[in-house]
Amino acid sequence: MLRRLLVGCAAFGAAMGLAACVSVAVGSSGVSLRQVASVMLGWVPGVRASLGPVPPEVRAILLEYRLPRVALAGVVGLSLSVSGAALQGLLGNPLADPYVVGVSAGAAVGAALAIMAGLQSALGGLGVPAAALVGAVVAMATVMAISRTGGRLPARTFLLAGVVVGSFFWSLVTLLLAVSGRSMQEVMFWLLGSLSGADTARLWMSAPPAVLAVLGLWTLSRDLNLISVGEEPAHHLGVRVETVKNVVVLLASLATASAVAVSGVIGFVGLIVPHMVRMILGPDHRVLIPCAALCGAAFLILADTAARTMLGATELPVGVLTALLGGPFFLYLLRSKGIR
């Protein structure tokens, strides 16, 4: 186990670091590698002097936009992937993804309302993400309240409640779209999911829940292992099954909610990355949770780098890239290793 953990974390951690370096280095043709090096390594004595001056707008782009965007891609990828891994294990359902709790639909309702109300500049530019976060938390709380019966949270009831609350909120989004008039396009573009709006404020909004989720879920990974064998045996082995379930759902949903709030609905990462890591390293959550987190971060950083550089100044929807990059690799793993 320990060897797997170390090897997995080292490999995926290196992948994430490499992806981040590449992502920070590439972008608009108007920013040269020399400028990137000068700004990023400016703290090393002598580097700034030897690489020459950098115009203020290039410095602003690198420090206030590109760097936060790479970090945000990492945080969102990490949140979605780690939440997906935990929920798949907890619910014993390979189709579970971070959005099963209806958070994406709830966030969409919040975002649509904020966009229609013209709150784009409210709260220092965080009006829409804040509203999306509120919507996501409302959806999550609804699902948890509905599915809790007699102090318990039965997995099947929980899944169904999530699906139905999700559909309900998606219908609300459709309803809002039908009456939104001029805001319609803006809501649609938000729904597509993008990291284009990255800034440090969004990073601060989504990073704490992500860190909390990784640490919390990792702490609970032994319990998750036992629960995925069966709730009954887990209970007899001393796991406080219901408490663990509630905490896992809460942590995963909060991380997902803040990820969706800052980036819109980005598909595929939370469903596929956990499966990929599970196929490579096995189903032990003590290994899976940290490795899925690192792999998800690396994966979304890469996908977003491709999304913002492939067509020059025109960006592609990052959800397209996650599916195009991840799909074939996942199918290859599925054929060669089978699902675990």
Partner 1 sequence: MALAAVVAFPLTMASPARSAPIRVRDARGKLFVASAPPKRIVSVAPANTEILFALGLGPRVVGVTDYCDYPPQARKLPKVGGVQLNYERILSLRPDMILATVNLQAGAIARMDALHLPVFAIDPHTVAETIGAIQLVGRATGTEQAAHAVARRMRATLAGIRRPPPGKRLRVLNIIQLQPLIVAGPGTFMDDCIRLAGGVNVAADAKAPYPTFSVEEAVLRKPQVILTAKRNLAALRSSPVWRTVPAVANGHIYSPDPDLLERPGPRVVDGVALLAGILRRAAAAPKAHVAGARGALLAPRKPA
Q: Is 285 in the site for partner 1 (CB under 8 A)?
A: no
| 288, 10 contact by CB (below 8 A) | no
**b/e string for 266-288 if b means 16 or more Cβ within 10 A?**
bbbbbbbbbbbbbbbbebbbbbb
Candidates 113, 298, 308, 330; binder of partner 1 (CB under 8 A) is 308
Asked if residues 321 and 290 have their Cβ atoms less than 8 Å apart, the reply is no
CA distance 54 to 282: 47
Per-residue binding letters, 161-200, with partner 1 (x by CB under 8 A): ----------------xxx-xx-xxx--xx---x-xx-x-
The binding track of 45-64 with respect to partner 1, each residue x by CB under 8 A or -, is -----------xxx-xx--x
**Is residue 267 a contact residue for partner 1 (CB under 8 A)?**
no
Minimum CB distance to partner 1, residue 136 (Å): 17
Among 45, 52, 151, 314, binds partner 1 (CB under 8 A): 314
Distance CA 94, CA 96 (A): 6
Q: Give the nearest distance from C-beta 134 to partner 1 in angstroms.
A: 17
Residue 173 contacts residue 190 (beta carbons within 8 Å): no
The radius of gyration of the chain's CA atoms, rounded to the nearest angstrom, is 21
Q: How far is the CB of 61 from partner 1 (least distance, A)?
A: 5
Give how many residues touch partner 1 by CB under 8 A. 42
Q: For residues 69-128, which are near partner 1 according to CB under 8 A?
A: 118-121, 124-125, 128
CA atoms in the 13 A half-sphere facing the CB of 152: 8
The answer to whether the beta carbons of residues 146 and 123 sit under 8 Å apart is no
What is the binding site for partner 1 (CB under 8 A)?
A: 27-28, 30-31, 56-58, 60-61, 64-66, 118-121, 124-125, 128, 177-179, 181-182, 184-186, 189-190, 194, 196-197, 199, 264, 308, 311-317
